[in-house]
Amino acid sequence: MSKGRLDKIDVAEKFGLFTQQWQGKVVAEMNGMYVKLARLEGEFIPHTHEAEDEMFYVLDGELTMRLPDRDVTVGPGQFIVVPRGVEHMPVCPRETKIMLIEPKETVNTGDADSERRVEPEWI
């Protein structure tokens, strides 16, 4: 698929197209990776991606990434890369908008067996 390529992508406009939380929506792809937008609020589940690094760029709100040994809190204009193999648990005290960049085959729940698993959807 090449949807979105060579068009300008307006992040705010894309956020206007969905309200679901914890469901990253695909807005572009490049080099086998998806660029996703997501609304996060509350706690996700701790999980690990064995083969994929993930970049979480915060656009609005506040994201705390709970790591095995510490928490890292990320605000607007900041990001964190969680390398493959590192357990992490995203937590947001209020609704937080992020841009998430990860390989196309990344499963949102990683190695966790969870009903919160969703398939990527283009918007």
Contact 88, 47 (CB under 8 A): yes
Single-letter amino acid, residue 83: P
Distance (Å) of CA 9 to CA 12, 61, 99, 115: 9, 21, 12, 31
Q: Residue 115 Cβ, how far from a second copy at the closest point, in Å?
A: 27
Whose tokens are 């998430």? That residue is: 100
- Which range, of 16-24, 39-47, 51-59, 114-122, touches a second copy by CB under 8 A? 51-59
Q: Does residue 38 interact with a second copy by CB under 8 A? A: no
Query: Which residues inside 73-102 make contact with a second copy, applying CB under 8 A?
Result: 73-74, 77-83, 86, 99, 101-102
> Applying CB under 8 A, which residues contact a second copy?
2, 4-12, 28-33, 35, 52-55, 57, 59, 67, 72-74, 77-83, 86, 99, 101-103
